[in-house]
A and B are shown apart, each in its own frame.
Chain A
Amino acid sequence: MRRRDHWIEWMRAVDRESIAAAYAIELLDERLKSDPSSLTARGLERRDADHVKANREATYLVRLFAVFESGLREAWEKAEKRRTHPTAADLLDAFAARTKMPSDRLNDAHRVRVYRNSIVHDVTATPQPTSLAEARRFLCRYFSFLPPDW
């Protein structure tokens, strides 16, 4: 498999993992209904389970972006033969310019980046939220414009 396809597959795997986690959370919910104290043996409470549910998409979105950024940095080093370490924003712009990418694809990827930053850095400004499925779609589309192999 070509390197670009590997990275796209790894991004899709994060999305699938999140779907599996959603199912696990559903099962946990059912278990807690029949046995509300089942978490206490592990030193956890019901609200910990609620936090898992509330933060699932955001958690996996951060992971998804980490995979995406790692792939970009590998391509930057191996395909572009660059030794610099640009910011994620600059990296997105640089590949977009090199590959003559549609502006909408670049803007979509920046939207995910800004939203991911708002999760990680807890910034006060509220960017446009992006669902995990949407983020995966935007980042895979962006990545498909990179060279196929390096």
Chain B
Amino acid sequence: MANVIAKPRHPTDNWEAKLDEWLSEMNSVVEEATKWAGTRGWSTNADNKTITEEVIGTYAAPRLLIHTPGARFLLDPIARCVVGAEGRFDLCVIPSYDAVPLVKIDGGWRFLSNGSDGLDLAWSEEGFAKICAQLVPMQ
């Protein structure tokens, strides 16, 4: 629980376990993205951002800056408590910060596009690469 900065204002039952699980989940996503970026020769920088959520508190969440020859991306954690999902990151292109949400639904991570572009892809190396390519023109 080293990442906990402040206790929640309105704690949910078992908030510490839920936060622990969420921190571990975020770390896995960031580690996978780091690995997939590395196989493409893209460099990455990881750091932390502070997130406050009413029911699980204030915590340091990992985020990842990805440098590619064509663009820079930020894999940005948004929240654990999300309407209709169990967690959310945004994969943004810099500097416009146009983003495709990456949400955890039914136990798995997937990109949530606007439905008309066929980019509702599962969180996988292939999905990650396709979404990055989709975001490049939007920088």
Contact = CB atoms under 8 A, between A and B. Distances in A.
A-B interaction: yes
Interface of A: 93, 96-104, 106-107, 147-148
A102 B78 contact: yes
Nearest to A2: B98
A106 B81 CA distance: 11
Give the bracket for the number of chain B residues in contact with chain A: 10 to 19
Interface stretch (B37-45, B83-91, B123-131): B83-91
A100 B83 contact: yes
Contact of B84 (A100, A104, A147, A148): A100
Contact of B88 (A102, A107, A147): A102
B66 interface: no
B14 interface: no
B129 to A, nearest CB: 22
A102 B101 contact: no
A93 B105 CA distance: 18
Contact of A103 (B81, B103, B105, B114): B81
Contacts of A148: 98
Given A97-B83, A97-B84, A104 B53 contact: yes
Interface of B: 52-55, 78-79, 81-85, 88, 98, 101, 103, 105, 112, 114
Nearest to A107: B54
A96 B54 contact: no
Contacts of B98: 148
A107 B54 CA distance: 10
A102 to B, nearest CB: 4
Contact of A99 (B79, B81, B101): B101
Nearest to A150: B114
Nearest to A106: B83
B103 A100 contact: yes
A99 B112 CA distance: 8
Contacts of A96: 83-84
